Structure formats: structure tokens, C-alpha cells
Amino acid sequence: MIYALFVGGSAFLLALVLGAFIVPALRERKIGKVISAEGPTTHHVKEGTPTMGGLIIYGTVAIVTVLTNIFEFEDGSLVFERRSILLPLFVVLFTMAIGFWDDLGTLTSIAGRRALSWRLKFFLIGGLSVVVAYTLYFQLDVRSVNVPWAGQYDLGPVYLVIAVVTVFATTSAVSITDGLDGLLGGTAAIAFAAYAVIAFGQGQEFLATFSFTVVGALLGFLWYNAHPAQVFMGDTGALPLGASLATVALMTGHWLLLPIIGIVFVANAASTVLQIAYFQTTGGRRLFRMTPLHHHFELLGWSEPQVVLRMWLFAFAGAMVGVALALSV
């Protein structure tokens, strides 16, 4: 745990340094985000704020992971021991590429270019979900679920379907949560910290180190993303956060706890689904003033920092309950 925490602290410092170069570079190149007209009117002042800040997060994660969490020293030699960590690292790089491609279509400086269609984005994330499920099941022999107070159960081939759904659903729910300054960065940091503790309790120190690396990188990113944000993470950061969180959860066997540890992600995704269903079944009536849920609270009169802080509190409470349940297995 000491090593993992030191690595996480180092990731924080590296993210601060990278951000000091990346944020001005994005601003100079006018990598500014177009704000949707369908969102709250108070967000229109954010038009042109640099996006693709996910480069800070996962540039840091990639560098730190390669330097600290893949190779080990054995008898004075550098040995490639932590092969399994290549899976979450691959997930990060693949989804960051998808997010980067999608973010290019939301820039104020590129007129006429469109973001990825939802069909193509879903296809790519779905394909990744299949790859993750296959790798976990056939390469890493991960095919079980940990049930609080009941123990561990091997699920057999059914695990493949569950893994695909978990990665796809988590990636979608987390990306929906990205909408307010500091909201996703803070809630994701809390979720990864929870799974870091769970992984360490299982003896998976390499996975705990990876998770704390993400936490440190997110904290460094929040330095620049705190209200009023100097940079947004964009899908370049949001998609890797969801996909890698799901991968980490599956590797611990505690994916059942994702809805608790990621309670804010679930609430935002559920509010969107309920809004659409209610709108269609009632002929145009709305259940919430606006979705995702964080926008509903904004329209009730909460300030943006209030919404973010209160959702952080729910995220922290969910994380505490989730860790407690994991320790009861």
C-alpha cells in the first residue's frame, strides 16, 4: 500500500506539471468546446473553454504505469511481471483515442466537423467490451463474482455476457456524468480510491497501484478543472474513466458493488433513461426539469459548486459502503 500511495502522489505531481503545459497549448490552438444549446443557459459563458483535458489524466496514467507498474526487480534484474496491468492500460489508450476523435467534432475552431455518431461510438465501445470480457475470461482466468457475506462464485461462460454489459454500461454512465466543473473528476477519483483499497485487501498490489495512479492523475487534473474550469476533460477523459473503472471492478471480482461505489454515475444514467421513457409514454411530459440529474438540480436553483460538492458527498458515502461490503466477503 505504501508503494501504491507514493505512486499516486507522484501521479498527482506529474499531472500538475503536464497540465501547466497542456492547458495553455490547448488554449493557444483554440481547442475550445462548443456548448450545447440544450443545456442550462448558465453554461453558455463556458463556450470556448479548452477541452481534451483527458490528455492530462491519461497521459499521466500511461507514463506512470509504464515507469512504475509493469516491471519489477528480481535478483537485480528488471522482469516483466505485471502482464495483467496491460489490460486496463490498453482499455485506457483505446477509449482515449475514441474520445479524442469524438472531441474533435465539438470544437469551436473546426467548423462543419461532426462528432462521432452515437451508433459508431456504441459499436466501438461494444467491441472493446467484448475484448475485455474475452481477455479476462480466457487469458486472466477471471470469471467469478464476490458476493458480500456469501463468498466467491465461479460463473462460467455467463461471466462473458456480464463482463460485456458491465464495461459498456459503466462507460456510458460515467461519460453522462461529465457536465459540471469538477463533477466527474471528483466522483471518479473517489470510486477508483475505493477499488484501490479493495484490490489491496485482495493482495492485488499492482491493481491498487494502477487505481491510485488514476486517483493522483485526477486530483492533478482537478487543479485545472475546479470551478470555474480552465479546461474540460471531454470524452478524451470521460470514456477512459468509465471503461477502466469497469475493468478494475471486474478484475477484483467486486463488480456487483459498482452501482454502490458509482452511485452518482447510476443516478445520472438512470435519470436520463427515465426521462426518455416518461417523455415517450406520456406524450411529451418530463419527469425531471433536465437530465442528466445534475442539470435538474441546477434548474432547481442550486449553484454549480453546490451540485458538485453534494454529489461528491454521495459518492464518498457510496464508496465507504462499497468498501465495507467488499471487506465482508
- Residue from 237, 202, 199, 201 nearest 217 by CA: 237
Please, are residues 64 and 85 in contact by the beta-carbon 8 Å criterion? no
| Long-range contacts, 196-199 (Cβ 8 Å, 24+) | 196/4, 196/8, 197/323, 198/252, 198/254, 198/257, 198/322, 198/323, 198/326, 198/327, 199/248, 199/251, 199/252
In a domain, 268, yes or no: no
123 occurs within a structural domain: yes
**If we measure between CA atoms, which residue out of 267, 271, 259 comes closest to residue 318?**
259
Residue 157 lies in a domain: yes
* 268: three-class secondary structure by DSSP: helix
**What phi and psi values does residue 302 have, to the nearest 5 degrees?**
-70, 140
> Contact at 8 Å (CB) between 34 and 107?
yes
In this predicted structure, what is the pLDDT of residue 287?
Answer: 84
**Tell me: the pLDDT tens digits for 148-195?**
999 999 999 999 999 999 999 999 999 999 889 899 999 999 999 999
- Per-residue pLDDT of 292-328, as tens digits, reads 888 888 888 898 899 999 999 999 999 999 999 999 8
Quote the pLDDT of residue 152. 92
In a domain, 306, yes or no: no
| Cα Rg, the chain, nearest whole Å | 19
Q: Residue 52 has which C-alpha cell?
A: 481534451
In a domain, 280, yes or no: no
**Residue 313 within a domain:** no
For 241-280, the pLDDT digits (tens) are 999 999 999 999 999 999 999 999 999 999 999 998 888 8
The tally of domains found in the chain comes to 1
Q: Are 199 and 252 in contact (CB under 8 A)?
A: yes
Q: Is the pLDDT of residue 108 over 60?
A: no
Domain range for 97:
2-257
- Distant-in-sequence, close-in-space partners of 302: CB < 8 Å, separation ≥ 6: 310
- What CA–CA distance (Å, rounded) separates 157 from 105? 39
Output the pLDDT for position 73.
59
Looking at the predicted structure, is the pLDDT value of residue 29 above 90?
Answer: no
The pTM assigned to this predicted structure is 0.92
In a domain, 88, yes or no: yes
Tell me, yes or no, whether 58 lies in a domain.
Answer: yes
| Choice between 28 and 252, residue whose per-residue pLDDT is larger | 252
